[in-house]
Amino acid sequence: MASLEEIREQRLKKLKRLQEEGIEPYPISSRKTHTIAAVLDIFGKLQTDKKPVVLAGRLMAKRGQGAIIFFDLFDGTDKIQGVLKEDSTKDFKLFSEILDIGDFIEVKGTLFTTKRGEKSIEAREARMLTKSLRPLPEKYHGLQDMEERFRRRYLDLLTSEETRERFKTRFAITRAIRKFLDKKGFQEVETPILQPIAGGANAMPFKTHHNFLDIDLYLRIAQEIYLKELLIGGLPKVYEIGRNFRNEGIDVTHNPEFTTVELYESFSDATKFRRVIESLSKIIVKEVYGGTRVSYNGNEIDFEKKFATVQYLKLFKEKINFEAQKATYEKTVAKAKELGVVISEGDSKEKLLDGIYKKAIRPSLIQPTFVTDYPVQYLPLAKRISKNRELADAFQLVVGGLELAKAFSELNDPLDQRERFNLEEKNKQRGDKEAQTYDKEFVEALEYGMPPAAGAGLSIDRFTMLLTDTKNIREVILFPTLRPRS
């Protein structure tokens, strides 16, 4: 079996032969008249008309030798079989000798159906569009190394229909979200990715430096602060689909670079937004999945029924028989250790409870469930519940053990917000690296008056995991964060 370098050397010789024949191996443009999908869609009519068509794509397979060659052509929309014949294809000898799997070619010819009923094109003319110098992965095995699949996603997409379908689902989810929010009167906006303060969530940011301004900047960890400033500015319903960046660990549900849609509506609240998120979730499933029941991780999940609602602190008693609200800090630490939760210096009781919840409770929430009423210390940007000032008017949507969305009634009291930021600064001084920074500019903006509002963030990555029955978030991100090759 030839080595990669030997194969590459052979292809370089074929490239040189094309050039010696006066054939441009990398021409500027193609004369393609149809996509392959379009041809297959109206194949009968085109075949009857006997009018030549020009198709272009990548050679994915090559069969036969001598006077006739069969090949598979793939253009990203679909695949079709092609035929080169010695007695009817111009420059047959040249192309039979220089064509390799992986080359991009253009063929002009008429359509026909083989005796086995396969739709095909008989190429009267063939033209090189791109001469490939490296072989594609073996057809039936593709890229077996997971890291290489993620690192060279272009080859993974080429050789795996499953991968292509997974990302088609992801793109469809994004389209469904836009369609829903646009129809509801939300305006799509853009907010800065480079920010002077990384606010809007409790997370460690990535830090960079702008040379001309000589200032440190941070990649955003959430879109929240700027979107709420737009509410203050008189835009009542806004959303943004975009990338966020958090300098955190990587696991099956976390990638440092991820995509969310954040939406905010003036004169709304968390209770009203539960209906919005439920409606949006059901429409995504219906439009993308084609039904109301989803299979994920061996479970059948029903999106048709009304979503369940359960209070966060009650889950600890129901699921692990732990009185979270009454427990002392020491008892919470002991419970966390018992369950194998990672504990860091400076962790507050609320952070320990969050670790316990993620480890021992959230995985058991399979059917769509709104988890509500979080300790107010969890969410320094959320309003308190009127009847219990220790709880935030907030919820998460959990499905299949995945946190898909988080939302709350937005805090618009500038004095309360100032105090919350002060508490976050104290947590940071105690060692909490994910505590939020005091945002003076945002507090000032709130003093001009922000209407009562609700906001939500929904993970497009995790929704894609759910609808494609995928266990690792890196499978649904085209180019996930990886350690460089050594």
**Confidence check: pLDDT of 393 > 80:** yes
Does residue 160 share a domain with residue 132?
A: no
Residue the block writes with tokens 């594609």: 136
Does residue 126 share a domain with residue 58?
A: yes
**Confidence check: pLDDT of 23 > 80:** yes
Does residue 202 share a domain with residue 300?
A: yes
**Confidence check: pLDDT of 109 > 60:** yes
186's tokens: 């939300």
pLDDT tens figures, 27-70: 999 999 999 999 999 999 999 999 999 999 999 999 987 899 99
CATH for 68:
2.40.50.140
**Confidence check: pLDDT of 400 > 70:** yes
Does residue 130 share a domain with residue 159?
A: no
Does residue 210 share a domain with residue 127?
A: no
Does residue 288 share a domain with residue 428?
A: yes
Query: Is residue 485 a part of any domain in this protein?
Result: no
**Confidence check: pLDDT of 1 > 80:** no
Does residue 302 share a domain with residue 261?
A: yes
> What is the rounded average pLDDT of the residues 406-410?
98
Helix (H, G, I), strand (E, B) or coil at 466: helix
Question: Which helix (H) or strand (E) covers residue 397, if one does?
Answer: strand 388-399
Model confidence band, residue 143 (pLDDT cutoffs 50, 70, 90): low
Backbone dihedral angles phi then psi of residue 230, each to the nearest 5 degrees: -70, -35
User: In angstroms, what is the C-alpha Rg of the chain?
Assistant: 28
Are 370 and 310 spatial neighbours (Cβ–Cβ below 8 Å)?
A: yes
* Rounded-to-integer distance, Cα 236 and Cα 228, Å: 10
Residue 66 Ramachandran class (φ > 0 left, ψ -120 to 50 alpha, else beta): left
Listed residues 136, 167, 196: the one ending a domain? 136
The per-residue DSSP string of 132-156 comes to --SPPPPTTT----HHHHHHTHHHH
Amino acid identity at 178: R
User: Which is more confident, 138 or 173?
Assistant: 173
Angle between helices 414-429 and 440-447 (to 10 degrees): 170
pLDDT tens figures, 161-183: 999 999 999 999 999 999 999 99
Q: What percent of the chain has pLDDT over 70?
A: 99
Does residue 460 share a domain with residue 399?
A: yes
Helices (H), 86-232: 92-98, 146-151, 153-159, 161-183, 224-232
Count up the domains in the chain and report the number. Answer: 2
Residue 227 half-sphere exposure, CB side, CA atoms within 13 Å? 31
Residue the block writes with tokens 């419970």: 335
- Domain interval for residue 385: 155-307+368-476
Does residue 194 share a domain with residue 125?
A: no
User: What's residue 140's pLDDT?
Assistant: 46
Does residue 88 share a domain with residue 195?
A: no
Question: By 3-state DSSP, what share of the chain in percent is helix, strand and coil, each rounded to 5?
Answer: 35, 25, 35
Are 454 and 410 spatial neighbours (Cβ–Cβ below 8 Å)?
A: yes
State pTM to two decimals. Answer: 0.93
**Confidence check: pLDDT of 141 > 70:** no
**Confidence check: pLDDT of 389 > 90:** no
Helix (H, G, I), strand (E, B) or coil at 482: coil
Mean pLDDT score of the chain, rounded to an integer?
Answer: 95
User: What's residue 47's pLDDT?
Assistant: 95
* Rounded-to-integer distance, Cα 322 and Cα 335, Å: 8
pLDDT tens figures, 288-345: 988 999 999 999 999 999 999 999 999 999 999 999 999 999 999 999 999 999 998 7
Are 410 and 383 spatial neighbours (Cβ–Cβ below 8 Å)?
A: yes
Does residue 205 share a domain with residue 160?
A: yes
Query: Is residue 298 a part of any domain in this protein?
Result: yes
Query: Is residue 224 a part of any domain in this protein?
Result: yes
Of 278, 280, 277, 303, which Cα lies nearest the Cα of 292?
303
CATH for 170:
3.30.930.10
The per-residue DSSP string of 71-89 comes to EEEE-SS-EEEEEEETTTS
Model confidence band, residue 138 (pLDDT cutoffs 50, 70, 90): confident
Query: Is residue 206 a part of any domain in this protein?
Result: yes
